[in-house]
Amino acid sequence: MVSLVNLESTDKQHIWITGASSGIGKAIVQQLATQGHQIYISGRNSEVLDKLAAQDGNITSIPCDVGNDEAMKVLLQNHDIEYLDTVILCAGTCEYIDLPLLDIQKTRRVLDTNFFGVVNSCIAALPLLKKTNAITVKKPHIIGIGSMSSYLGFPRAEAYGSSKAAMSYFLNSLRSDLNDVIDITMVYPGFIKTPMTDQNDFSMPFLLSADKAASIILKKAERRPLTIAFPLRLHMLLQIMKLFPRLWYSGVSGSLRRTSGAKA
Ligand SMILES: NC(=O)c1ccc[n+]([C@@H]2O[C@H](COP(=O)([O-])OP(=O)(O)OC[C@H]3O[C@@H](n4cnc5c(N)ncnc54)[C@H](OP(=O)(O)O)[C@@H]3O)[C@@H](O)[C@H]2O)c1
């Protein structure tokens, strides 16, 4: 099996990354770009994507809104992509719910990107991933960036946490159906410093940089595990909290509630 991050590999992989214009996705692109793979990058901000592509002849910018069903259906057909080895589903958004307003529009916006965006991306990518089986001996790989927020109910995360739980179930279910032909890895990061979390005004334990998160994801994904969860200490703490849900809901989760009036 050819490693995703084997610097000595001469096997050029075809990799599509959504959410590539910022944060974790951008850091992944920058790390993969040093390895000579053919990389297709997506996000809505075409200016940032084009700048990234201009720095490296192996990067192609494919701007899109992953929540746009019709555009996503034909997105990859409009580009000269022979096949895809790996798809990294990183596009995501976070809007917090401020009770008493249980905001349906916010909730739909978050689900449109984080859940339906993943479904749309899979619809776009599956034909090209399946072609890999015919063209090369390798099994293609989908890597979905979920979140530890789907482990337990987090405050103000009614929309975000639900979207990540739905995405996780969707990809696990897809794995059940396609296990023979495609490897699927679900990634559960803790808190990573990116423009998304820069809006948070609560304490974020074990915060990691986007570069560190990208290198952990790429390194661990080499072995194609079913799940990757990091940092381990936060993962373990939350797993323990799952055993004591009353403790979580009656006090601990409240410590992650916002502490000032910052907008999310
Ligand atoms: N940061 C964390 O602590 C953390 C923790 C767990 C999981 N995650 C997940 O990691 C992923 C990356 O997040 P990040 O922290 O790196 O945030 P970020 O810096 O805000 O990056 C989000 C990326 O998603 C893209 N995106 C958002 N909406 C989109 C849409 N409708 N269509 C296409 N692309 C869209 C953005 O690009 P455009 O603006 O150009 O569209 C951007 O490239 C997300 O799925 C997030 O939920 C993050």
Beta strands in 98-182 (DSSP E): 141-145
Helix (H) and strand (E) counts in the chain = 9, 9
| Nearest atom within ligand 1 for CA of residue 192 | 3
Go through the domains of the chain in sequence order and give each one's CATH number.
14-256 (3.40.50.720)
Q: What is the pTM of this model?
A: 0.94
CA of 66 to the centre of ligand 1 (A): 11
User: pLDDT tens digits for 119-178?
Assistant: 999 999 999 999 987 777 789 999 999 999 999 999 999 999 999 999 999 999 999 999
Cβ–ligand 1 contact at 66 (below 6 Å): yes
In whole angstroms, give the CA distance from residue 76 to residue 16: 10
In whole angstroms, give the CA distance from residue 26 to residue 225: 22
Which of 24, 30, 208 is the best mutation target for the ligand 1 pocket, counting ligand atoms within 8 Å of the beta carbon and taking the most?
24
- Closest among 53, 54, 13 to 218, alpha carbons compared: 13
Whole-number percent of the chain with pLDDT over 70: 94
CA of 148 to the centre of ligand 1 (A): 15
